[in-house]
Structure 1
Amino acid sequence: MLHGRWRRPTRPSTFDLLLPARRSLSLLPPHARIYELGPRDGLQNEKVHVPTDAKVHFVDLLSRTGVHAVETTSFVSPRWVPQMSDHREVLQRIEQMESVSYPVLVPNMQGFEAAVAAGARIVAVMTAPSTTFARKNLNCTVDETVERAVAIAEAAEAK
């Protein structure tokens, strides 16, 4: 037999549970910059060929959504990434808005030079998180990816 009054165990309110999340949200900056990768990263591995017109239309639609940047294409060898073989045409045909930047990925100096010749004003470079990734995707070592990125950044600064 229980003596006294039985009380339901108390559990925290929903508000109490959200306090830690609310505190961590207060640490976030007041604004975020959205950098859209879909036209490049989302399409580069598609098995079915995506027509140039569709890519241009995709970039143009994304530009109207309020994103700050749309990574438009990648200046890579068509032998390695056939989906990006129309990089020059895509970059030149998109309807560029003043409020949006249109970086293009360049994995090496050859890609950088081709991008600049096509009219690219902003380039994105990449390094690799592991030797396996570097070898598989860039055909070099992690250190070489860093060296390439530095060389491209210096060349871009000089332009």
Structure 2
Amino acid sequence: MGAREVGLPSTVLPVNTEDLPGRVTIWEVGARDGLQNEQSAVPVEVKLEFLDRLADSGLSVLEATSFVHPKWVPQLADAEDLLAGLTRRPDVIYPVLVPNERGLDRALAAGVDHIAIFGSATETFAQRNLNSSLDVQFAMFDPVVTRALEADMSVRGYVSMCFGDPWEGPVPVQQVVEVGRRMLEMGCWQLSLGDTIGVATPGHVEAVLGGFIEAGVDPSMLAVHFHDTYGQALANSLSALYCGVSTIDSSAGGLGGCPYAESATGNLATEDLVWMLDGMGIEHGVDLDKLVATSVWMAERLGRPSPSRVVQALAK
């Protein structure tokens, strides 16, 4: 049964759309962030078919893998094999995370065009995730970004713990803004603000995004990355849209977590995001029925149902 057959309105609901983007880019992270915390190894053949099915659904950005050391994220130890077997489509970009210069070397050897670096907005998470400090992390990023730009790569920046840290508690908005601005000044074309443990609320999202806007950062340079620990990811995404953000990270089927933050649950489900955008008349280019079928397919291979409410509703 298709999405339209179960009650999705064919006409746009009467919402105030003056401050909303007409189109949203969905930055699909299911194959990387969604799978990185799986305890059982997912075969590379399954990952490749997952990416192919996601592309078939109309998603134009598929974060494929990460060149983090296999010791820290064993699930992504097959990064080279995955990229070698990937059928790249001309209308899809396949970003890859790189943690350091060694990761960049691997990305260059694999013919990657789009990379992302990932930083921390807090001291404790920088130490635990990057084996660095809040300030020293930039010295690690600098040669990576410089070399990547020289190689004509595009570089995205992730900032983790933007809304709360399990060890430090609430994170000051100005601290997040300072970290983010430094990454943008290095040469990142876009900054993805992560609610790594899923504690943000819509008002908090507005405050953080407002801090960046007041600092002179255009919303077009910002993206948001929400986890759904307290069920707020979709509401937080709507808040971000009203702040002018038009790129939202999400994971097919709501897969995901963070191996360095035990309290982090799954990402915002791409299907839930698409359902909301459809109801508001915002374009995104995704075929919801194909996406739901893909998440059902992956859930079968992982041996558990998808946590996405839309997948649960449409898969019945």
TM-score, normalization by structure 2: 0.42
- Structure 1 residue corresponding to 2:27, chosen from 22, 28, 35: 35
Query: 2: distance between equivalents of 1:150 and 1:31?
Result: 32
Question: Is residue 127 of structure 1 aligned with residue 119 of structure 2?
Answer: yes
**Runs of 5+ unmatched residues, structure 2:** 1-12, 152-316
| Residue 158 of structure 1: aligned partner | 150
In the TM superposition, residue 42 of structure 1 has moved relative to its aligned partner by 0.8
Q: Answer yes or no: is the 8 Å Cα contact 1:92–1:119 preserved in 2.
A: no
Higher relative contact order (CA 8 A, sep 6+): 2
- Structure 2 residue corresponding to 1:84, chosen from 76, 79, 101: 76
Give the direction of change, closer, same or farther, for the CA distance of 1:30–1:106 in structure 2 (3 Å limit): same
Q: Which runs of 4+ in 1 moved over 3 A?
A: none
Residue range with higher mean Cα deviation, 141-150 or 92-101: 141-150
Q: What SS class does the counterpart of residue 65 from structure 2 fall into?
A: coil
Query: 1: distance between equivalents of 2:138 and 2:62?
Result: 23
- Structure 2 residue corresponding to 1:117, chosen from 105, 109, 127: 109
| Percent identity of equivalent pairs | 39
Matched to 1:58, the amino acid is F
Matched to 1:86, the amino acid is D
Number of aligned residue pairs: give it: 139
- Structure 2 residue corresponding to 1:45, chosen from 8, 28, 37: 37
Query: 2: distance between equivalents of 1:89 and 1:143?
Result: 34
Q: Deviations over 1:124-143 (max 9, x none)?
A: 11111212211221111122
In the TM superposition, residue 121 of structure 1 has moved relative to its aligned partner by 1.3
| Residue 86 of structure 2: aligned partner | 94
| Residue 133 of structure 2: aligned partner | 141
In the TM superposition, residue 71 of structure 1 has moved relative to its aligned partner by 0.6
Query: 1: distance between equivalents of 2:82 and 2:102?
Result: 18
In the TM superposition, residue 151 of structure 1 has moved relative to its aligned partner by 2.4
**Runs of 5+ unmatched residues, structure 1:** 1-17
Bigger Rg, which one: 1
Give the direction of change, closer, same or farther, for the CA distance of 1:68–1:142 in structure 2 (3 Å limit): farther
Matched to 1:157, the amino acid is L
Q: Answer yes or no: is the 8 Å Cα contact 1:126–1:145 preserved in 2.
A: no
Q: Answer yes or no: is the 8 Å Cα contact 1:46–1:83 preserved in 2.
A: yes
Question: Is residue 58 of structure 1 aligned with residue 32 of structure 2?
Answer: no
Residue range with higher mean Cα deviation, 142-151 or 30-39: 142-151
Matched to 1:102, the amino acid is Y
Q: What SS class does the counterpart of residue 56 from structure 1 fall into?
A: helix
Q: Deviations over 1:91-146 (max 9, x none)?
A: 12111111110010001111011111112111111111212211221111122333
| Residue 69 of structure 1: aligned partner | 61
In the TM superposition, residue 147 of structure 1 has moved relative to its aligned partner by 3.1
Query: 2: distance between equivalents of 1:98 and 1:147?
Result: 34
TM-score, normalization by structure 1: 0.81
